[in-house]
Amino acid sequence: MNRITPIPQKAPKVRFAGKVAIVARSRCRMERVWMPSRNREGLEAARLQFQHNTQTSNEIVFIEPPASAGAGYINAWICQLDGLPDKAGANQVWIPEGFLRQPGTTGPRLIQCQEGYDGQVWDDGVLISTRWWPIPPGRDDWRQFIDGTDAVIGLPEDPEIDWIRIPDIEMVAWRHNLSLYNLGRESVARVFSPLRLALIAILLLILPFGLLAGSYARLSLYIAQANSRISELSERNDTISQAQKTALADRTFSEAMDANNSSMVLVDALSDLRTGVPQTDASISYLNLADRSIEVRIRDYTDNDTPALVQRLEATDAWSSVSASRNRNGELVIKGIIGERKEDAGQ
């Protein structure tokens, strides 16, 4: 039988475990132990016993998670510490290559490992015996492995299986869908050390405050943008309102001009008013014309010559029945009739 050249395989991804260190099959041995109870306390007791037995041999222990918590066998892998790739750290999860391969069904199996070859005996998906060789085993090596397994553990009863024939060498893939929970309590303790748990707790405490701060910042931005938009709309409304007022005043003035028989009457009246008001910085703030009755308000008129102003306007052809007074805003209010013949006004 020809030897197959080993092909390096990348470590599989194990959920929540981070980077995984694979211990080569050549560095490990498997021990199968009967346990009256395979619950958490029983597995921890078995782990402590294995660790006690390996304290002076520079070895570490990995116990395969059992299928149930009742009585039965457990598989414990004892591996040399110097077999960890790159001296795996204290918080790194390590997994024996023998456990990491996809399980078999029932019968013998010979697989190629990262280093050497591994003979296995499976019973209904459970590994009950294994032996490692640096090169493919010969007929005598394989017969010795099978006879030893039968004597110590007992081979599965299946008449169709030829135990003496050496199986073909297989390249077996890694297990799929592994998570940190599948690797047992020891692996969980390696990942979630007290320091790492403290850091996670701090992050969990800080995260809500960070989310609140981010929400507050976004809300403040939205409020600022809304206020800016409201200010723009307010300015626009003011502009529209002012334009409406101007248009209304123009419309009122146009209607007054149209109501008058002759637009020149108002022009003459305003011309006489400008002549009668010698103060150049005074201006008209309000004008109302109803038929021929006119009301004009003059702003910033400081001369105290109201009677004289009335006389000057009465002396013109355009004004008659003129009166003048001050309102509470200090404006000079002039009322009268325009465009009426003097003889008509005197009748």
**pLDDT tens, 195-209?**
554 555 666 667 676
pLDDT of residue 120: 96
* SS percent in the chain: helix, strand, coil, step 5: 40, 25, 35
Q: Is the pTM of this model over 0.85?
A: no
Between strands 72-80 and 283-290, the pairing is unpaired
**pLDDT for res 203:** 64
Query: Residues 146-199: pLDDT tens digits?
Result: 999 999 999 999 889 999 999 999 999 888 777 665 565 555 445 445 555 455
What are the backbone dihedrals phi and psi of residue 332, each rounded to the nearest 5 degrees, phi first?
-85, 115
How would residue 210 be classed by pLDDT, with cut points 50, 70 and 90?
low
Q: How many CB atoms lie within 10 A of CB 80?
A: 17
pLDDT band at 136 (very low <50, low <70, confident <90, very high): very high
Q: Residue 97: is its pLDDT beyond 70? A: yes
Q: Report the pLDDT averaged over residues 212-225.
A: 78
Q: Is 327 left (phi over 0), alpha (psi -120 to 50) or beta?
A: beta
More confident residue, 234 or 87: 234
pLDDT at position 180 is: 63
Which three-class secondary structure state does DSSP give residue 10?
Answer: coil
Confidence label for 1 from pLDDT (cuts 50, 70 and 90): very low
What is the mean predicted confidence (pLDDT) over 124-130?
93
DSSP structure string for 200-233: HHHHHHHHHHHHHHHHHHHHHHHHHHHHHHHHHH
Does residue 63 have a pLDDT over 60? yes
> Side by side, which strands form the sheet with 293-299?
283-290, 293-299, 332-338, 319-326
Ranked by mean pLDDT, the top range of 91-105, 163-177, 243-257 is: 163-177
